[in-house]
């Protein structure tokens, strides 16, 4: 799982992806208000307050706007509908891979999470990463 500062920043700026945070356990996050505590969402109640269990067993009550969701590779694949490989989505990813290689894309993305985040933003929202923000193509 990519927990790098670059990936956290990319996720924070991917507002469309942040709106898709699933409710449930095993969701990685970065606190947007209290420094660099990583943890996983343990529960979300009906009024929008999230109970977050941090790795040091400290429990904090936070709302969605107080943390940055860090989607895993499998979650990003699910977002773009790449759950079961098919000829159609394999063709799309191969074409994207060709474009990525031509743009020295992999110098920017040392992890699969970054690749799939960039792929999701490109395919679903027609945005590319310029190392500062997501911009419309």
Tell me the longest C-alpha to C-alpha distance in the chain. Answer: 47
Q: Does domain 21-70 have CATH number 2.30.30?
A: yes
Are 135 and 128 a contacting pair, CB within 8 Å?
A: yes
What are the tokens at 95? 């074409």
Domain range annotation of the chain: 21-70, 71-137
User: Tens digit of pLDDT for each residue in 34-85?
Assistant: 554 556 555 555 455 666 666 556 666 677 777 888 899 999 988 988 766 6
User: Tens digit of pLDDT for each residue in 85-115?
Assistant: 667 666 777 776 666 665 555 566 678 899 8
User: Which of 35 and 117 is assigned the larger pLDDT?
Assistant: 117
CA distances from residue 80 to 54, 87, 90, 108 in whole angstroms, order as listed: 29, 15, 12, 21
């Amino acid at each position: 799982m990519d927990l790098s500062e670059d990936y956290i920043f990319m996720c924070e700026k991917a507002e469309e992806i942040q709106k898709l945070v699933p409710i449930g356990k095993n969701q990685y996050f970065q606190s947007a208000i209290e420094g660099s505590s990583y943890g996983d969402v343990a529960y979300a109640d009906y009024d929008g307050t999230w109970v977050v269990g941090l790795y040091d067993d400290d429990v904090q009550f936070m709302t969605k706007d107080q943390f940055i969701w860090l989607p895993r590779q499998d979650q990003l694949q699910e977002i773009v509908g790449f759950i079961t490989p098919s000829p159609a989505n394999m063709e799309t990813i191969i074409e994207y891979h060709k474009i990525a290689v031509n743009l020295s894309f992999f110098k920017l993305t040392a992890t699969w999470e970054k690749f799939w985040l960039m792929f999701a933003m490109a395919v679903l929202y027609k945005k590319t990463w310029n190392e500062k923000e997501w911009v419309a193509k």
